């Protein structure tokens, strides 16, 4: 059986304590045992990263670029195999998992280029003969904490820019998905990354995650996960006066106006709400639909849902894989009950399913006759459950879309340039999609939200520079 270990200062190791990594499509399938670390391993990892920082942060950008490029190439070359591993560990379909792996590879390739393009400025000083240089330097040791829903892509989109700009990393992945993080550490190591630059510590968030954010040796924290944990991190980072970047939940609206192309509207809802088992922070969980198109939209969407196959992530005909674990499944089913109790009408699914293999299966759930004050429209479910709300006109739809404490992504399906433009301008979200699903984003542009969804500088694309570099202003009198 596979043993997933920590990777600290270029060496694999761990503790005696271990936990099982279970396949959510088939709980009899145990991928391996992952070490369960404590604060001592965090300490060793942070110290190794501090030790490596001086050399790495001043290393030639060509070296950094080459290592990131080799990493990206290997991930892309092994996309099928890594996709299988990811699907087995997390439960998304193999097709979805290969998509995620591809994205992770492309992010490393993009950041390999960015390492060679670290920008600066030279200006004349206001003082005679003097020049001013504005340069960017690495921040230091970055503590990273990542969720289970994108086991490879999220570690990749934090690690690639961190390394490109000369930082060292200590990564604490979600305990449900150690295998993908171990694969990443192995690839980075064999790509030639010096010892101590990237360190991986496996274990429980409440223990090693907490030890990481409290460690005096880290200079910044990049976190993706739930709002509660994010809030705690922001508080600790503020006390310590170190920078932090938090990507948290969403309650993303998809507006379907009466003039929408019904095929596009249904496909956007299907993809955004239910693919990847609804376990995406950008999932469209609120479908805000024009009164005139409402009945047709619900009928067509329900028809499409009936045709979807829920099943083992490895089965070729599966459209929706299992929920990640028993706890998340129970929480999803509980939200279905809450929706019913608050008066929403469940028109399809939302039920626990038995499949040939024992796993955490549920049918995609669709509610209608919901209003925006219901808990299913205000709290993140993080599963394959969406609710429809009726809107009489564009203004009401926009107001409903914005009536949430979250603000990650939003979408509108319409043929009207006027309404599409107005929505793009007035939607209180970090990412706005026109005639496209709320989930599914490009790897080379900024990712992030507003309000309770995000805090701190954006991730990804060239904007990642803001978080992973520190600005220096130098005055030079020759």
- List contacts with ligand NAP (CB under 6 A): 145-150, 172-175, 204-206, 209-210, 213, 224-226, 229, 232, 247-250, 281, 380, 382, 408, 453
Q: Which of 114, 281, 380, 459 is catalytic?
A: 281
Number of residues in contact with Mg ion under rule CB under 5 A: 4
Q: Which one of Mg ion, ligand NAP, none interacts with residue 89, CB within 5 to 8 A by kind?
A: Mg ion
Distances (CA, A) of 63 to 55, 116, 128, 272: 12, 10, 38, 39
Q: Residue written as tokens 């904007």?
A: 463
Q: Which of 247, 267, 380, 459 is catalytic?
A: 247
CB under 5 A: which stretch of 60-68, 83-91, 93-101, 245-253 binds Mg ion?
83-91
Residue 223 Cβ, how far from ligand NAP at the closest point, in Å? Answer: 7
Q: Which is nearer to ligand NAP, 59 or 331 (CB)?
A: 331
Residue 233 Cβ, how far from ligand NAP at the closest point, in Å? Answer: 7
Residue 395 Cβ, how far from Mg ion at the closest point, in Å? Answer: 45
Q: Which one of ligand NAP, Mg ion, none interacts with residue 226, CB within 5 to 8 A by kind?
A: ligand NAP
Residue 177 Cβ, how far from ligand NAP at the closest point, in Å? Answer: 8
Q: Are 446 and 467 in contact (CB under 8 A)?
A: no
3-state secondary structure of 448: coil
Distance CA(50)–CA(168), nearest Å, equals: 7
**DSSP labels for 156-222?**
HHHHHHHHHTT-EEEEE--TT-HHHHHHHHHHHHHTTPPTTSEEE--S-IIIIIHHHHH-TT-SEEE
Q: Which one of ligand NAP, Mg ion, none interacts with residue 210, CB within 5 to 8 A by kind?
A: ligand NAP
Residue 104 Cβ, how far from ligand NAP at the closest point, in Å? Answer: 14
Residue 324 Cβ, how far from ligand NAP at the closest point, in Å? Answer: 8
Residue 239 Cβ, how far from ligand NAP at the closest point, in Å? Answer: 14
Distance CA(143)–CA(217), nearest Å, equals: 9
Q: Which is nearer to Mg ion, 32 or 446 (CB)?
A: 32
Q: Which is nearer to Mg ion, 22 or 233 (CB)?
A: 22
Q: Which is nearer to ligand NAP, 179 or 420 (CB)?
A: 179
Q: Which is nearer to ligand NAP, 111 or 181 (CB)?
A: 181
Phi, psi of 121 (to 5 degrees): -140, 150
Whose CA is closest to 222, among 246, 205, 204?
246
CB under 5 A: which stretch of 126-134, 138-146, 172-180, 399-407 binds Mg ion?
172-180
Q: Are 386 and 284 in contact (CB under 8 A)?
A: yes
Q: Which one of ligand NAP, Mg ion, none interacts with residue 408, CB within 5 to 8 A by kind?
A: ligand NAP
Q: Which one of ligand NAP, Mg ion, none interacts with residue 401, CB within 5 to 8 A by kind?
A: none
Interface with Mg ion in residues 8-47 (CB under 5 A): 21-22
**DSSP labels for 203-224?**
S-IIIIIHHHHH-TT-SEEEEE
Q: Which one of ligand NAP, Mg ion, none interacts with residue 206, CB within 5 to 8 A by kind?
A: ligand NAP
Distance CA(269)–CA(303), nearest Å, equals: 13
Q: Which one of Mg ion, ligand NAP, none interacts with residue 281, CB within 5 to 8 A by kind?
A: ligand NAP
- Residue 258 binds to Mg ion (criterion: CB under 5 A): no
Residue burial 300-317, b: 16+ Cβ < 10 Å; e: rest: bbeebbeebebbbbbbee
Distance CA(403)–CA(171), nearest Å, equals: 35
Q: What is the CA radius of gyration of the chain?
A: 23
Hey, what's the torsion of the CAs at 374, 378, 380, 381, to 10 degrees?
10
- 244 counts as catalytic: no
Distance CA(101)–CA(125), nearest Å, equals: 47
Q: Which is nearer to Mg ion, 284 or 318 (CB)?
A: 318
- 247 counts as catalytic: yes
Q: Which is nearer to ligand NAP, 138 or 153 (CB)?
A: 153
Question: In the chain, what is the straight-line distance between the N-terminal and C-terminal CA atoms, in Å?
Answer: 64
- Residue 89 binds to Mg ion (criterion: CB under 5 A): yes
Q: Two tokens at 44?
A: 């060793």
Q: Which one of ligand NAP, Mg ion, none interacts with residue 100, CB within 5 to 8 A by kind?
A: none
CA dihedral sign, ordered 117, 120, 124, 129: negative
Residue 359 Cβ, how far from Mg ion at the closest point, in Å? Answer: 11
Active site members: 247, 281
Residues found near Mg ion in the complex (CB under 5 A): 21-22, 89, 176
């Amino acid at each position: 059986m596979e043993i997933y270990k920590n990777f600290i200062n270029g060496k694999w190791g761990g503790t005696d304590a271990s936990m099982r990594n279970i396949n959510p499509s088939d709980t009899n399938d145990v991928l391996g045992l992952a070490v369960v670390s404590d604060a001592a391993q965090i300490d060793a990892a942070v110290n190794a990263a501090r030790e490596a920082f001086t050399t790495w942060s001043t290393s030639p950008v060509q070296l950094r670029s080459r290592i990131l490029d080799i990493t990206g190439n290997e991930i892309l070359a092994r996309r099928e195999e890594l996709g299988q591993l990811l699907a087995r560990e997390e439960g998304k379909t193999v097709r979805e998992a290969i998509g995620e792996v591809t994205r992770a590879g492309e992010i490393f390739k993009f950041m390999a280029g960015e390492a060679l393009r670290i920008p600066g400025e030279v200006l004349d000083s206001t003082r005679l003969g003097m020049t001013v240089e504005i340069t960017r330097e690495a921040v230091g040791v970055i503590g990273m904490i990542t969720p289970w829903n994108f086991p490879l892509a999220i570690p990749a989109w934090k690690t690639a820019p961190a390394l490109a700009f000369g930082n060292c990393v200590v990564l604490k992945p979600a305990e449900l998905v150690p295998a993908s993080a171990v694969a990443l550490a192995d690839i980075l190591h064999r790509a030639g990354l010096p010892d101590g630059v990237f360190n991986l510590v496996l274990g429980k968030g409440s223990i090693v995650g907490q030890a990481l954010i409290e460690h005096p040796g880290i200079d910044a924290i990049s976190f993706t996960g739930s709002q509660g944990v994010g809030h705690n991190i922001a508080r600790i980072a503020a006390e310590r006066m170190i920078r932090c970047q938090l990507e948290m939940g969403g309650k993303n609206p998809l507006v379907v106006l009466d003039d929408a192309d019904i095929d596009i509207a249904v496909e956007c809802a299907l993809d955004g709400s239910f693919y990847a088992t609804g376990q995406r922070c950008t999932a469209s969980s609120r479908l805000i639909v024009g009164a005139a198109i409402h009945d047709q939209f619900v009928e067509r969407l329900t028809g499409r849902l009936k045709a979807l196959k829920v099943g083992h992530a490895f089965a070729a005909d599966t459209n929706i894989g299992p929920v990640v674990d028993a706890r998340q499944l129970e929480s999803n089913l509980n939200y279905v009950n809450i929706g019913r109790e608050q008066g929403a009408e469940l028109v399809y699914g939302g039920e626990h399913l038995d499949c040939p293999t024992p796993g955490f299966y549920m049918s995609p759930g669709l509610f209608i006759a919901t209003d925006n004050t219901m808990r299913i429209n205000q709290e993140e479910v993080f599963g394959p459950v969406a609710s429809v709300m009726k809107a009489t006109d564009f203004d009401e739809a926009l107001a409903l879309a914005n009536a949430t404490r979250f603000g990650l992504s939003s979408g509108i399906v319409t043929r009207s340039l006027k309404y599409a433009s107005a929505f793009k301008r007035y939607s209180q979200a970090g990412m706005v999609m026109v005639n496209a699903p709320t989930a599914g984003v490009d790897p080379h542009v900024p990712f992030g939200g507003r309000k309770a969804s995000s805090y701190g500088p954006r991730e990804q694309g060239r904007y990642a520079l803001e978080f992973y570099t520190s600005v220096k202003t130098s005055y030079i009198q020759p």
